[in-house]
Chain A
Amino acid sequence: SQQGEEDPQALSIQEGENATMNCSYKTSINNLQWYRQNSGRGLVHLILIRSNEREKHSGRLRVTLDTSKKSSSLLITASRAADTASYFCATDGFYNQGGKLIFGQGTELSVKP
């Protein structure tokens, strides 16, 4: 079963707007990561947030983590057409051996120029 579930499944916005994607998970985690994927190929690591962190920033990205609700959000500010991609959250379960990642089904973001 999927550990992470992203919401919404698809999001379409205009360039310059902010995009917010949410992720929920089921079990305790060590950390949560967000990845971007273009055209169904390799994933690009965006940001990692540890279980004892609540918020993290990287450029135009802002990630929050609420371990009590087992949820995370990714905010992309001032979106650009180049941000068009699929975005996945991934968790490594606290009781995992080896840190294998469990991915959600992703949010497909479309930024229109």
Chain B
Amino acid sequence: GAGVSQTPSNKVTEKGKYVELRCDPISGHTALYWYRQSLGQGPEFLIYFQGTGAADDSGLPNDRFFAVRPEGSVSTLKIQRTERGDSAVYLCASSLTRGGGRYNEQFFGPGTRLTVL
């Protein structure tokens, strides 16, 4: 596809359950980012991949959150033992450049709205 895609678009789960959120970046983009956005707030950084490796996971709130990108393309964000406070829109973005340099335009997907009951 032409843009970043994310599935599912909406996910409703019960407290304590496990969820997986998927991101398909723009083809050829080596950098992939996950952000979380709570209502009325700006997106907050979670984790960044360069290729297959997590280059910066400093934004993950705790060890219940984990993300993988095994083949350097699709990424999955995994949340264990979900809590009501995890409810938010989870946004994925990809970038052609490595980032940290002079050009870092990130293209965002539509997001997954996670609701934990």
CB neighbours (8 Å) of A106 from chain B are 41-42
CA of A43 to CA of B108, assembled, Å:
6
Q: By the criterion CB–CB under 8 Å, are A30 and B109 in contact?
A: no
Q: A9 CB to closest chain B CB, in angstroms?
A: 9
Q: A108 CB to closest chain B CB, in angstroms?
A: 9
User: Digit string of B35-61 for contact with A (CB within 8 Å is 1, else 0)?
Assistant: 101011111110010100001100100
* B1 CB within 8 Å of chain A: no
Q: How many residues of B contact A (CB 8 A)?
A: 35
* B65 CB within 8 Å of chain A: no
Q: By the criterion CB–CB under 8 Å, are B100 and A41 in contact?
A: no
Q: By the criterion CB–CB under 8 Å, are B104 and A99 in contact?
A: yes
Comparing B13-21, B75-83, B91-99, the segment that makes contact with chain A is: B91-99
CB neighbours (8 Å) of B95 from chain A are 99
Q: B54 CB to closest chain A CB, in angstroms?
A: 10
Which one of B42, B97, B103 contacts A104 once the chains associate, using CB atoms below 8 Å? B42
Q: By the criterion CB–CB under 8 Å, are B99 and A100 in contact?
A: yes
Q: A11 CB to closest chain B CB, in angstroms?
A: 15
Q: By the criterion CB–CB under 8 Å, are A97 and B42 in contact?
A: no
CA of A97 to CA of B53, assembled, Å:
13
Q: How many residues of A contact B (CB 8 A)?
A: 28
Number of residue pairs spanning A and B whose beta carbons lie under 8 angstroms apart? 89
CB neighbours (8 Å) of A35 from chain B are 108
Q: By the criterion CB–CB under 8 Å, are B99 and A99 in contact?
A: yes
Q: A12 CB to closest chain B CB, in angstroms?
A: 17
* A31 CB within 8 Å of chain B: yes
CB neighbours (8 Å) of B50 from chain A are 98
CB neighbours (8 Å) of B101 from chain A are 30, 99
CA of A103 to CA of B55, assembled, Å:
20
Interface residues of A in 55-113 (CB under 8 A from B): 88, 90, 92, 96-106
List residues of B whose CB falls within 8 A of some A CB. 31, 33, 35, 37, 39-45, 48, 50, 55-56, 59, 89, 91, 93, 95, 97-111
